[in-house]
Structure 1
Amino acid sequence: MTLVLGLDIGSTSTKAALVDVHAGVRVLHLEHRPTPSDPRALVAVAADAARCCALRASSPIAAVGIASMAESGAVLDADGAPLTDLLRWDRAVERAHLDHLLALRPGLPETTGVPATTKPAAVGLIALRAEQPALFRAMRHWAGAADMVAHALTGERVLDHTLAVRTMLAGADGDAWDAELLDALGIASQTLPALRAPGEPAGLTDDGAAAFGLPRGIAVHVAGHDHAVGAWAGGARQPGDAADSLGTAEAVVRVAEHIDRADAVTAGFAVSRTVDGAARTVLGGSRSCGSLLARWEAENTGTIALLADEDPGRWRTSELTVLPYPEGRQCPDPDPAAVLHTLGDGDHDARARALLQSLVSHARWMRETADRLAGSPSTSLVLLGSLAHRLRAWPALAAAAGVPTRLTHAREPVAAGAALLAAVRENAVSEDATLGAQPVAPAVAPGLDDAHRRFLAAVRDSTGGGAPHRPEEGER
C-alpha cells in the first residue's frame, strides 16, 4: 500500500482524499467541508479535512498534493496575518480597473493567454490600490488558496505555473513573474509566491503540519489549477485529448501541440500548459453548471431529483431550449449581456430536460471551438466530477456528440488527482497512472442533434446575429 493525500480548495467546498496508488488509483477516504472566505478559517478547514484522512491511514503518507480554484487570493501582512477575506474569482470588480491594466499593457491578454476579464489577481490588485490605498501599502504578501495551505504545511510561499498564469502577472508559461508589470503596478516581487517548475515540490512538511495530522519531512506539491489537475488526472495529457470538469463552474480543457493565444483569448479561452508542463492547453469556462442547477432547483423544486432518476437509455429530447447564462457568457464569443432564458413552453419535466440538454450543448460548443483553436478534432473526452455521477443522463448526452467518452470513477477527481500528481512526482507510482474511468454509451434519443442546432441558433439570435462556430464535417 502506497498512500498519498490530495487537497482540493474549491469555490464551494474543500475536499481531502486519501488515495492508495500501489495497484491502480483507489480513493480510500474522502472528507468535505464548506470553503470559508476567512483565510485563517480556510487553512483550518483544510487542516481538519486532511487530519481526518490521515487518521484513516494504515501506513505513512508518502506525499501531499494541493489543487485549488484560480484567481482567488488574500492580502497578508509581514507576519502572514490576513488583511482581507479571500478575494474570490467571482467577486464583483469594476471594469475600469481592467481598462487601466490594459492601458498599461495593451497586449497583456495575448502575451499571457488570459482573457481580458476582471477575474485575475492583476486586476484585483489594481482595484485594491485605487479603492483601499492604505491596505495596498500595508500588503506584504499576496497568497492564493493553494499557496496559503502549502505555506501552513511547509513554511514556504510557492505557486505552480498553472495558477501563476491565471494571475496575469506571469508570462504565458507561468515560469517567471513579469518584473516590468509588477513595477508599473507598484508591487514588490517578494510580495508574490516563489514559482516552482513542474515536478518541483513546494517543500517538506514542518512542525505546522501537525495540525493536518502529518509528521515532518513529507514532500508537498502545489498541484495546480483545479480544472487542469482534474483533466491531467483523468488522462487528458496528449494532443487531441479533452476533459469536461463539472463543478460549481464548468471547464472544458483541450490538450494541443500549439494554440494561437491571440485567437483563443479573443474567443474567451485561456491558454496554458498541462500540469506536467508537457503540452499546451486551451481552457473554456462557464459559471453555469452546478451553480445554475442549484439556482434552477430553488425556483423549480424537484428538477435535480427528476434528472437524477432519468434513465439515459430512455431519454426524451425536450423541444425547449435554455440559454444558460445567468451572469453573461464567458466563452465562446464572450457576451457579458447574455441572459438566462427559456425558449418555448413546456411542463416542469420538459423544462428540466431542456436545462440539461442546453448545459451539455454549451459544453459541446466550448469543446468544438477549442478544437478549432487547436486545429484538429478531439479524439477523446473524459468527464470529471460528482454531477456526472448524480445525473446519469449527463455523460450519455455528452457522448452523443460522437467523441469517445469516459467517466472517471472518482467522485472528487481534483482531490484524487492532486494526490496522484504528488505520487507521480515523488516516483511513488508510474507516470502513466491515471484515475480509473469507464466508457460511456452515447444517448440515442431522436432529435438530440436537432436540439443542439436549435441551441446554436438561439445563441446566434440572442447576440444580434453573431454566429457561433459551427463544426465542419469531420469535427463532430
Structure 2
Amino acid sequence: MTLVLGLDIGSTTTKAALVAVSAEVSVVRVVRTPTPTDVTELLAACAAVARECLADARDPIAAIGIASMAESGTALDGDGRPLTPLLRWDRRVDPRHLDDLLARHPELPFMTGVPATTKPAAVALRALRAERPDLFPAMRHWAGVADLVAHALTGVRATDHTLATRTMMAGGDGDGWDDAVLASTGLAAGVLPDVRAPGEVVAPTTGDAGGFGLPAGIPVYIAGHDHAVGAWASGVRNPGAVADSLGTAEAVVRVTDAAATRAAVADGFSVGRTVDGSARTLLGGSRACGAMIEWWDAQHPADRLLDRLRELDPQRWVTSGMTVLPYPSGRQCPRPDPTAGVEIHGVEIHRDDTHPAGRARAVLQGLVLHSRWMREAIEIHAGSAATDLTLLGSLADRIPSWAPLAATAGIPTRRTTTDEPVAAGAALLSAVRAGAASPDLTLERTDVAPATAAGLDDAYRRFLETVLTEGER
C-alpha cells in the first residue's frame, strides 16, 4: 500500500484527500475548508487542510497531486507577494477588454480552443493593464491557483497543459505560451509559469513544505483542471466516454478522437486534452448547477430547495409539467447567450406543480434537461454518439435523483462513489506519475438504474422548444 496526497482548490471549498493505492484506491481521510479569495489566506487554508489530513498518516507520502478550478489566478511582485486578491473565473470583467483582445487576435478562440468569454486570464491581464496602470508594471509573475500551491511546496513556478489552455494564452494542446498573445497583454517573458508536459513532475518539496505537514523530497505534480481530473480519475478516458461533474458549476467532459474545433468553440464548448494527454476533450460548462440552487434559495427561501431535492425518490418520480430554463447568469453553451435568465413556463396550466415540492422537481428537471442538451450538442461536435456517462461531484451525491434522471437518456450510466473524487483523483494521478500505482486504476463507480420517469422525453422536447424559442426573441 502507498499513501499519496491530493489537493483540490475549488470555487467554494478546498479539499485535501489522503489516499491509499494498492490493487484499488481507497480514501483514508478527507478534510475540507471554504476557499478564501485572499491569496495569503488561500495558501494558509491549503496548508491547514493538508496538515490535518496527514496528522494520522503512519507511512510516508509518496507523491502529491494538485487540482484546481481554472481561469482563476493572481498577479505577484518580484518577491512573490500578491498584488491582487484571487481573480476568480466568475468575477465580473468589463467586456470591452475581451473585445480589445479579439480585435487584435480575431482567431484566438479557435486557435486556443477556448470560447470568447471574459473568464480567461488573457482577458483578466488586459483588464489589469488598462484599469490598474499603477499595479501592472510591478507584476513579475502570474500564477493560477494550483500553480500558487505548487510554488509554496517546491519553490518552482509551473502549471500543466489543462490549466495553461484555459488561460487563452496557450495553443490548443496547452504545451506552450503564444508569444503574440503575451505581447498584446503587455507581459514580459517569464511572467507565466513553465508548462509541464503530461506526467512531468514540478519538483520535489522543499523545507518550506513543513507548513503543510510534509517533509522535503516528495514529488509534486500539477494534476490539472478540476473537472478534467475528476473525469480521468473516474475512468472517463476512452473516446466516447462522458463525465458530468456537478458542483458549484457543472462541466460535461467528453473524450473524443475527433473534434470540430471551430464549430464547437462557436457553440460555447472548449476543446482540450485529457490530463494524461492521450486524447482530446470537448468540455461544456454551465453555472446553472449549484448556482441555480443558490439563486432559487435566495428567491424562495421558504422552499428549502436542497432539503426537498434530497427527499425526491427517483423510482417514484413525477415528471413536472413546468419547464424551467435554469440560467441565473446567462448560458455558456450550447448557443451561448449571456443575457439568458431563469424562466418558468407552464405555471398557469400545471398549478399542481407550484407548491414547494413541485417547484423542486421542476428545478431539478430543468438542470437535468440542460445537461442532456449539452451532451447531445457535444455529440454533434465529436461526430459520434457517447458510449457511457459517469456522474461525479457533490450534487450527484447529495441529490439521489440526479443520476437516475440523467440515466433516462438511454446511455449506460454510472456514478463515482469515492469521496471527493477530484482531490482523490489528484492523489491517484500523482501516484501513477510517480510510478507507485498502475495506470489502469480508477476511482470506484456504481451502475445507475434509470429513474421511473414517464413523460421525461416529452418534457425534454418541451424544454428544447422553449429554450430555442426564447433564444429567437
- TM-score between the two structures when normalised by the length of structure 1: 0.96
**Partner deviation per Cα, 1:413-446 (whole Å, 9 max, x = no partner):** 1101100100111111110111000000001221
**Partner deviation per Cα, 1:356-378 (whole Å, 9 max, x = no partner):** 01101101111111111001110
2:356 pairs, out of 337, 348, 354, with 348
- Post-superposition shift, 1:162? 0.3
Q: Which amino acid aligns with 2:449?
A: A
**Partner deviation per Cα, 1:35-77 (whole Å, 9 max, x = no partner):** 0011111011001001111112121111000000000000100
Find the counterpart in structure 2 of residue 439 from structure 1: 447
Matches within 5 A, 1:270-289: 270-289=270-289
Find the counterpart in structure 1 of residue 402 from structure 2: 394
- Post-superposition shift, 1:452? 1.0
1:336 pairs, out of 335, 338, 349, with 338
2:311 pairs, out of 309, 312, 315, with 309
Find the counterpart in structure 2 of residue 79 from structure 1: 79
**Partner deviation per Cα, 1:121-154 (whole Å, 9 max, x = no partner):** 0001001101111201110010111000000000
2:414 pairs, out of 406, 431, 449, with 406
Partner Cα distance (1:464, 1:316) in 2: 30
- Post-superposition shift, 1:350? 1.3
Partner Cα distance (1:277, 1:409) in 2: 25
Partner Cα distance (1:302, 1:106) in 2: 46
Q: Which amino acid aligns with 1:315?
A: W
- TM-score between the two structures when normalised by the length of structure 2: 0.97
Does residue 1:290 correspond to 2:298, yes or no? no
Partner Cα distance (2:185, 2:395) in 1: 40
**Partner deviation per Cα, 1:320-367 (whole Å, 9 max, x = no partner):** 111000111000000111111111222211111011011011011111
Find the counterpart in structure 1 of residue 14 from structure 2: 14
Give the secondary-structure state (helix, strand or coil) at the position aligned to 1:463.
helix
Does residue 1:454 correspond to 2:462, yes or no? yes
Partner Cα distance (1:87, 1:386) in 2: 24
Partner Cα distance (1:34, 1:344) in 2: 38
Moved more, 203-212 or 345-354: 345-354
- Post-superposition shift, 1:202? 0.8
Give the secondary-structure state (helix, strand or coil) at the position aligned to 1:8.
strand
Find the counterpart in structure 1 of residue 323 from structure 2: 321
Give the secondary-structure state (helix, strand or coil) at the position aligned to 1:133.
coil
CA contact (8 A) 1:161 1:197 kept: yes
Give the secondary-structure state (helix, strand or coil) at the position aligned to 2:414.
strand
Find the counterpart in structure 2 of residue 237 from structure 1: 237
Find the counterpart in structure 2 of residue 358 from structure 1: 366
**Partner deviation per Cα, 1:18-42 (whole Å, 9 max, x = no partner):** 0111131111111111000111110
Give the secondary-structure state (helix, strand or coil) at the position aligned to 1:189.
coil
Shift >4 Å, 4+ stretches: none
5+ residue gaps, structure 2, are 348-353
Does residue 1:135 correspond to 2:143, yes or no? no
Partner Cα distance (2:390, 2:427) in 1: 19
Does residue 1:261 correspond to 2:277, yes or no? no
Partner Cα distance (2:45, 2:175) in 1: 30
Give the secondary-structure state (helix, strand or coil) at the position aligned to 1:201.
coil
CA contact (8 A) 1:177 1:189 kept: no
Matches within 5 A, 1:100-111: 100-111=100-111
CA contact (8 A) 1:229 1:414 kept: yes
> What's the C-alpha RMSD, in Å, of the aligned pairs?
0.9
CA contact (8 A) 2:126 2:185 kept: yes
CA contact (8 A) 1:90 1:119 kept: yes
5+ residue gaps, structure 1, are 466-476
Partner Cα distance (1:313, 1:427) in 2: 44
Partner Cα distance (1:189, 1:274) in 2: 27
Give the secondary-structure state (helix, strand or coil) at the position aligned to 1:63.
strand
Q: How many corresponding residue pairs? A: 465
Partner Cα distance (2:56, 2:105) in 1: 50
Partner Cα distance (1:291, 1:102) in 2: 29
- Post-superposition shift, 1:180? 2.0
